[in-house]
Structure 1
Amino acid sequence: MSADNCYHQSVVSRWHKGQTLDALDSIAEEIPVAMVYNGISHAVMMASPCDLEDFALGFSLSEGIIQKPQEIYGIDLMMADTESLAAGIEIQISITTQRSMQLKQRRRNLTGRTGCGLCGAESLQQAIRPVRAVAPRPSAPPEAIENAIRQLTENQPLQSITGACHGAAWCDRSGNILLLKEDVGRHNALDKLLGALQRLQINLAGGFVLVSSRASYEMVHKAASSGISTLVAVSAPTHLALNLAKQAGLNLIGFARPGRHVIYNQSGLSPTKDNED
């Protein structure tokens, strides 16, 4: 689905300096999206109904349901047969028999992932999963972070229109935004980006991810699961996210704003633009 399907026009009343006027406003779309693997529903998220094929691929990889894109045989989108307030979409994902059997053994119900990221986990062991170590690479240099921050707003059309969407961007070593995905959920936006990076076979060695949100435990986990070495967030990380970044060897930068940012973890390599990986 295109970005046009991710918002609606609605009549609103705007109050400004003592006057109330009727106007049209763009409202972000948010619908239930079910991930269905080999006919079995595994997770339901509230999400923006665009870039759903990338969402399915990125979610499947970052959640460890598959280990490589070739383990997905096909992705089909189906409107759910429902009379509820918001008609949902089922993403029918065909995966290998081996991965399907492993998924059944997990016995997890992940409904509501955009809220806390851990809803439905059956034990503490399931909630805090082992993290993949990433290859040590230089962090993003300050001038690259500054460049990416300057470009963020102009590369978020849904956020500009609705004011209700997060963005996750892939930036090259100079901070140029090469790819950006949006969603009402920050985790979903990152999954869409990770799926698109895999689909387009983009080399992840030299760039970094910029997210328009805080750096939660799950954002760090998803980035590390894809082999991304640097995560930059416009807001703060949590302590759990910082500990996870240290375990993974992931460069973690927060409060990335014009003229300032905070380095929370660095792999030890010098963050210069001329480093070769």
Structure 2
Amino acid sequence: MVEDEYGQAGYVEREIRRHTGRHTGGHTVPEIDDVAEEVPVALVYNGISHAVMMATPLDLEAFAIGFSLTEGIVDSVAEIRDIEIEPGCDGIEVRIEIGQRAFMALRAHRRTLAGRTGCGVCGTESLALLDLEPTPVGVPARRIEPTPAMLRRATDALQARQVLMAATGGVHAAAWCDAQGDVVAVFEDVGRHNALDKLIGHLTRTRTTFGDGFVLLSSRASYELVRKTARMRIQMLATISAPTSLAIRIAAQAGLRLLSFCRKDGFVEYTAPAENEGFVLRSEPLAVPG
């Protein structure tokens, strides 16, 4: 059983009945199954509840740091003064104390959200809140050049280090890989966004230089994952599954290299550095409903 510093295991045992042998009459076997935990995690900043995320209750301090950074609540980890984790009957409260500048900016942002009248994401006002202007990654000091062998090494190592996935079959993973494709750190969660935030939080705590590696995700590439990665000025994001069209657009705008379908036989490159001759990316403007 894998536990974090707070004694959380990340999964629970449940009694099940396994039914097999559909073509031979079938039989039923009682067993104990390991099921990934999913609990409400409330993120509370300076006493004000900001968000409730459904997450696996592992590595919550790293999660709080990563979420605060990738969502732009703080500009640096130095603005996080304290983190307290308080388990409850119905979930977990993560209390985060941040500096006055960051807190005032957060309060102003919350007032902006409260003043909007758009319904869901069907109107112009709501679309304006989606934060579709990514942080430019910039030119890294050392450009990582992906190869099939590098990505194969990384994906093989990621699969071997997905301990919670092996136990439950129901979580995503985010890995930090060096320029050679060696996996340095892996974090897992029922939510792919949460796994990435936990990874970012850990890398920040260990003072890892973001320009020296890339992120590998066991999931598809959605625009939120691209935006979070770009905000940390990480030069490359690789995913096991497919990207969305908006993820490709955001990656191109940010100058982030996006690789997907990273498998044993190769990968697909959707965005690349501008100096790569011959690479053409069509990026259509986002259509706003009239």
TM-score past 0.5 threshold:
yes
Q: Deviations over 1:96-154 (max 9, x none)?
A: 111111101111799xxxxxxx8xx9721111342111133334232211100111111
Task: Please tell me whether the aligned partners of residues 65 and 103 of structure 1 are also in contact (alpha carbons under 8 angstroms).
Answer: yes
RMSD: 2.1
Aligned to 2:65: 57
Contact 1:139 1:269 in 2 (8 A): no
Amino acid at match of 2:214: F
Note if 1:125 corresponds to 2:133: no
Gaps spanning 5+ residues in structure 2: where?
Answer: 114-120, 277-290
Matched, 1:158 2:161: no
- In 2, the alpha carbon distance for the partners of 1:41 and 1:109 equals 16
Aligned to 2:78: 70
Q: Which amino acid aligns with 1:26?
A: D
- The DSSP-based 3-state class of the residue aligned with 1:255 is strand
Moved more, 255-264 or 183-192: 255-264
Task: Verify the 8 A CA contact 2:151 2:266 in the aligned structure 1.
Answer: no
Q: Structure 1 37/46 Cα, relative in aligned 2: closer, same or farther at 3 Å?
A: same
Question: In structure 2, how many angstroms separate the alpha carbons of the residues matched to 1:210 and 1:269?
Answer: 23
Map 1:202-213; keep pairs closer than 5 Å.
202-213=208-219
Q: Over alpha carbons, which structure has the higher Rg?
A: 2
Distance 2:179 2:199 in 1: 17
Q: Given the superposition, is the C-alpha separation of residues 14 and 108 from structure 1 closer, same or farther in structure 2, using an over 3 Å criterion? A: farther
Percent of residue pairs bearing the same amino acid type: 45
Question: Residues 153 and 138 of structure 1: is their aligned pair in 2 closer, same or farther, counting only changes over 3 Å?
Answer: closer
1:40 to 35, 48, 63: 48
The aligned counterpart of 1:142 is 148
Q: Aligned to 1:193, what secondary structure does the other structure show?
A: helix
Q: Measure the CA separation in 2 of the matches of 1:122 and 1:200.
A: 39
Q: Tell me which residue corresponds to 2:20.
A: 16
Structure 2: distance between partners of 1:144 and 1:108 = 46
Deviation at 1:37? 0.2
- Residue by residue, what CA displacement relative to the aligned partner does 1:62-84 show, whole Å, maximum 9, x if unpaired? 0000000000000000123x4xx
Give per-residue Cα distances to partners, 1:233-267, cap 9 Å, x unaligned: 00111111100000000000001111121010111
Q: CA deviation at 1:16?
A: 1.6
Distance 2:192 2:213 in 1: 20
1:179-258 pair list within 5 angstroms: 179-258=185-264
Aligned residues: 257
Once the two structures are TM-superposed, the CA of residue 206 in structure 1 deviates from its matched residue by 2.3
Q: 1:98 aligns with which of 93, 97, 101?
A: 101
Counterpart residue identity of residue 95, structure 1:
I
Task: From the superposition, tell whether residues 211 and 109 of structure 1 become closer, same or farther in structure 2 (CA, over 3 Å).
Answer: farther
Q: What code does the residue aligned with 1:66 have?
A: V
Distance in 1 between residues matched to 2:203 and 2:37, nearest whole Å: 24
Q: Is the 8 A contact 1:140 1:208 kept in 2?
A: no
Q: Deviations over 1:16-40 (max 9, x none)?
A: 2112100111011110001100000
Return the alpha-carbon distance in structure 2 between the equivalents of residues 35 and 125 of structure 1.
24
Q: Show the counterpart of 1:115.
A: none
Which moves more between the two structures, 150-159 or 133-142?
A: 133-142
Preserved contact between residue 9 and residue 25 of structure 1 (Cα < 8 Å): yes
Q: Distance in 2 between matches of 1:109 and 1:56?
A: 23
Gaps of 5+ in 1: 111-117, 271-277
Matching residue of 2:118: none
* C-alpha distance 233-10 of structure 1, shift in aligned 2 (>3 A): same
Contact 1:42 / 1:109 at 8 angstroms: preserved in 2? no
Contact 1:169 1:211 in 2 (8 A): yes
Distance (whole Å) between structure 1 residues aligned to residue 111 and residue 36 of structure 2: 29
C-alpha contact 2:12 2:36 (8 A) present in aligned 1: yes
Q: 2: distance between equivalents of 1:249 and 1:267? A: 7
2:37 maps to amino acid: E
